Amino acid sequence: MIFNNYLYVWPTDNPISMKKQTFHTEFICYDSLDELPESDRQLLLLAKKSLENSYSPYSNFKVGAAVLLRNGQLFGGSNYENASYPLCICAEQTVLTTAANMHPGVAPLALAVAVRNPKRVIDRPGLPCGACRQVICETEVKNKQPIRVILQGETGSVFVFENGLDLLPLAFDKTFL
């Protein structure tokens, strides 16, 4: 095989050992917000209310998040964009770090995320980006506690994941360091 003007020769006398593996993720899918247990519904409603605080002048993609702590405290947060896109702050990271700073050592039990786009109705859950999934998993490790993740668009189905690792099954963690 020639690649970038270099010839690569693969040995034909050495069999390649390969195994195909599959990951399965389980989550609960509710048809609507009204079907959720009351505590999850209230948390998701706080995430939707937090959409009002989104600073998203460039993409107009609004994200609201809310977290329930073990001590019963609730916090809401939203995304905060920047003209230099890599410097944007996600709603999930905003709310998890706010909660950790306001109540150090108190584990989050659940995180709800809602999304809205004024250009069109989003009728399916908006899943956290890869960086947020990693932060959720790290927060679980730090607190030795899974975080239930509740997701919905403006309307439609609600997805509930029992922990962050269901969203990021091959998470990078301290065992690599």
Closest CA to 135 of 106, 84, 100, 160: 100
User: Taking Cα atoms as reference points, which of 165, 56, 159 lies closest to residue 114?
Assistant: 159
Domain housing 142: 34-164
In a domain, 7, yes or no: no
Residue 147 in any domain: the answer is yes
Per-residue pLDDT of the chain (177 residues; tens, 9 = 90+): 455 556 555 566 656 677 888 888 899 999 999 999 999 999 999 999 999 999 999 999 999 999 999 999 999 999 999 999 889 999 999 999 999 999 999 999 999 999 999 999 999 999 999 999 999 999 999 999 999 999 999 999 999 999 999 999 888 988 899
Whole-prediction pTM value? 0.88
Strand-pair partners of 65: 77, 113
Domain contains 2:
no
Closest Cα partner for 29 from 143, 119, 152? 152
* Domains identified in the chain, total number: 1
Residue 25 lies in a domain: no
Catalytic site positions: 92
Phi and psi for 116 in degrees, rounded to 5? Answer: -150, 140
CATH number at residue 41: 3.40.140.10
